[in-house]
């Protein structure tokens, strides 16, 4: 009799547990990060990150403090368009008689600065138009390489938004 009672309890317990199914689970908090690119030259990365509140592009060196920007996909595209002009500014500054050259372009609340000493020690800086904040510092080849990915940020973000549906 005890065996029968034990088996009956186990069966009833099994029936109650089996009523729980996947439809009752809801993901309310999540962070999805798509590691899109990592440059070979200096290690600048570009990630698409989706959370319940936002869809953003994280661009820079995330391993170093204040060396990465969190920007919208539209801003990332705009920065990519500005970085596309890196070679042009490098050649211009290389030919310049000025001992120290600096050119700044702005778009969508972001600034890209190209600076060098007659083409030597050429650096590219990207930051938001804020008094304080992160700055992404790159060399010429690194800026040219990451620009290709940044110009596709809107399409990549749209793809991630459609595919990641918690």
Quote the pLDDT of residue 47.
Answer: 95
E strands, the chain, in order? 32-38, 45-50, 55-60, 68-71, 101-107, 110-117, 120-128, 135-138
Q: What string of pLDDT tens digits covers the 166 residues of the chain?
A: 656 555 665 655 565 555 555 567 777 888 999 999 888 878 899 999 999 999 999 999 988 889 999 999 999 999 999 999 999 999 998 888 888 999 999 999 999 999 998 768 899 999 999 888 999 999 999 999 999 999 999 999 999 999 888 7
Residue in this structure with the two tokens 């009956």, named with its chain if needed: 8
Q: According to the model, what pLDDT value does residue 62 have?
A: 86
Please state, in angstroms and rounded to a whole number, the distance separating the CA atoms of residues 117 and 57.
32
């Amino acid at each position: 009799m005890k065996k029968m009672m034990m088996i009956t309890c186990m069966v009833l317990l099994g029936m109650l547990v089996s009523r729980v199914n996947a439809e009752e689970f809801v993901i309310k908090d999540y962070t999805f990060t798509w590691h899109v690119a990592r440059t070979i030259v200096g290690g600048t990365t570009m990630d698409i990150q989706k959370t319940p509140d936002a869809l953003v592009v994280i661009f820079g060196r995330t391993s170093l403090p204040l060396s990465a920007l969190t920007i919208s996909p539209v801003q990332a595209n705009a920065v990519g368009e500005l970085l596309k002009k890196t070679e042009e500014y490098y050649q211009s500054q290389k030919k310049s008689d000025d001992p120290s050259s600096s050119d700044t372009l702005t778009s969508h609340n972001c600034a890209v600065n190209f600076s060098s000493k007659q083409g030597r020690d050429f650096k590219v800086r990207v930051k938001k138009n804020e008094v304080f904040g992160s700055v992404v510092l790159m060399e010429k080849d690194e800026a040219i390489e990451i620009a290709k990915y940044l110009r596709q940020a809107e399409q990549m973000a749209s793809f991630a938004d459609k595919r990641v549906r918690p």
